[in-house]
Amino acid sequence: MFAELSPGALDLRDRLVAFMAEHVYPNERELLAPPREAEKWASRPLAMALMEKARAVGLWNLFYNHGPEGQGLSNWEYSQLCEILGRSLAAPELFNCNAPDVGNMEILATYGTEAQKQRWLKRLLTGEIRSCFAMTEPQVASSDATNIETSILRDGDDYVVNGRKWWTTGAPSERCKIAIVMGKSDPSAPKHQQQSMILVPMDAAGITVVRPLSVYGYEHAPLGHAEVLFENVRVPAENMLLGEGRGFEIAQGRLGPGRIHHCMRFIGLAERALEIMCERARTRVAFGSSLAEMGGVRQAIGQSRCDIEQARLVTLKAAWMMDTVGNKAARNEIAIAKTVVPETAGKVIDRAIQVHGGAGLSQDFFLAEAFAETRFLRIGDGPDEVHREALARVELARRH
């Protein structure tokens, strides 16, 4: 079913592997270490320096296929580079392939006006600024986006935004300069035409980053997640994306590719977890034998290999279908990958933690933070239950 990687994609993959080995893994602890409080949300000099190196050697905007600023890879090709990026939680930002910027750049490239692209997309593609995506709200079940209460109402030449968002990834960063906000512009319209998306500069009057949010204790500074309050925030009418009532349309275009990127990155995390699980099992001795000689550990290693291979194939199939029949036709395969992969990666990482004992719970290994990240994505980008429900409807309809 799958074709070989093109020569260009193969070259990028080899150069990416070499860059990771030379620059990312040796500096990973510093890149991921909690910063001092006074510098928590400021860019780290080491990360900025490595971003410049990556850009200089052409390992930049690997996801982007809308113009010369990217590498022109297919979803299937990029998904395999994502696996390499995903082996380190520090890596995606260094190559300008980090969420939510990737999805926001896709929105601007696909739905933005020329003026919006010039003001915001161009700066995101160069890595000059960061962005955030404000959708989820604390007061409603945001897994059903029709519940969203934030208002985006026309007032003369402006729109006025009022609402409270949270899990707004990237908002605490000093480099975050633009938010894409989803809210209701016409509560009386049909259910899926009530929502709109609008570009809101983060320095606009009335925006308050209320607090950072932690994931199992990790704040993920300097990017992080935040609760953000919008109080009578005025933005020009030309900041509306695509048009009033088009929010769901944009959301579906944004989320499909992003979910696949997350999935393949998690496969990279799971692969690395399996590698260090095996290394630990070979080198640690308990009760007179190495852990690698113990049946339970060997079962965990063998099952992890099975799990990773299945998860990878599910994700590659979804990416291949997105390229061949389009995102809409591939929506079931995307939903399967989004449901299967974070849970699978979490199981593999959890086994690696168990084999490492107390060390696996500590900051000395990447496992604890990786586990938190995979658990987060079983809710982020839509809870697993929502995707299973959609898949069940399709299966039942097929057999009606």
Q: Is residue 346 pLDDT above 90, yes or no?
A: yes
Per residue in 46-69, pLDDT (tens digit) is 999 999 999 999 999 999 999 999
Same domain, 283 and 187: no
Residue 213 lies in a domain: yes
Total count of domains within the chain: 3
Residue 2 lies in a domain: no
Residue 329 lies in a domain: yes
Residue 210 to residue 68: CA distance in whole angstroms:
38
Instruction: Over range 279-283, report the average pLDDT.
Output: 97
> Which domain CATH number covers 386?
1.20.140.10
Same domain, 101 and 136: no
What kind and span of H or E run contains 107?
Answer: helix 101-111
User: How far from 305 is each of 39, 56, 275, 299, 369, CA to CA, in Å?
Assistant: 40, 36, 10, 10, 21
Same domain, 379 and 264: yes
* Residue range of the domain that includes 46: 7-126
Per residue in 350-392, pLDDT (tens digit) is 999 999 999 999 999 999 999 999 999 999 888 999 999 999 9
Per residue in 184-235, pLDDT (tens digit) is 999 999 999 999 999 999 999 999 999 999 999 999 999 999 999 999 999 9
Residue 314 lies in a domain: yes
Residue 298 to residue 285: CA distance in whole angstroms:
14
Alpha helices in 236-366 (DSSP H): 247-283, 295-325, 331-356
> Which domain CATH number covers 221?
2.40.110.10
Write down the pLDDT at residue 3.
Answer: 62
Residue 85 to residue 97: CA distance in whole angstroms:
9
Residue that finishes a domain, picked among 218, 244, 270 = 244
Same domain, 145 and 214: yes
Average pLDDT, the chain: 95
